[in-house]
């Protein structure tokens, strides 16, 4: 039995072995960007001691990813407000 793919392998597969070709790369990056912007727009969540993933850590991770993608693209999430 084959070992399950890691998350990095899954994303790499989506971006490289897709019938959409290079368009798949843009699609995956845009999906990640939109989700990160959505997380940040919702604001810092309240702590939940029962959460499997710390809500604050999730928020900060979303903010870091949105910031990096904004830096690379030059598109500010504020520019896209209401267009997501």
Q: Could you tell me if residue 22 is inside a domain? A: no
Q: What is the mean pLDDT of each run of 10 residues along the chain (84 residues)?
A: 92 90 91 92 88 92 92 71 48
Contacts of 76 (CB under 8 A, 6+ apart): 70
Range of the domain at 68: 30-84
Is residue 71 a part of any domain in this protein? Answer: yes
Q: With beta carbons less than 8 A apart as the criterion, state whether 28 and 11 touch.
A: yes
The pLDDT tens digits of the residues spanning 54-71 come to: 999 999 999 999 999 988
CA distance 28 to 44: 25
Tokens encoding 5: 């793919």
Classify residue 36: in a domain, yes or no.
yes
Asked, for residue 16, whether it belongs to a domain, the answer is: no
In a domain, 23, yes or no: no
pTM of the full structure = 0.76
- Domain count within the chain: 1
Whole-angstrom CA distances from 76 to 25, 28, 66 are 20, 18, 9
The answer to the question of residue 62 being in a domain is: yes
- CB atoms near residue 69 (< 10 Å): 18
């Amino acid at each position: 039995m084959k070992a399950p793919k890691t998350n990095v392998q899954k994303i790499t597969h989506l971006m490289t072995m897709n019938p959409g070709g290079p368009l798949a790369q843009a699609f995956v990056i845009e999906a990640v960007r939109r989700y990160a912007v959505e997380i940040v727009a919702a604001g810092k969540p309240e702590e939940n001691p029962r959460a499997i993933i710390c809500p604050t850590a999730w928020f900060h991770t979303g903010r870091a990813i949105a910031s990096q993608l904004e830096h690379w693209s030059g598109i500010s999430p504020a520019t896209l407000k209401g267009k997501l």
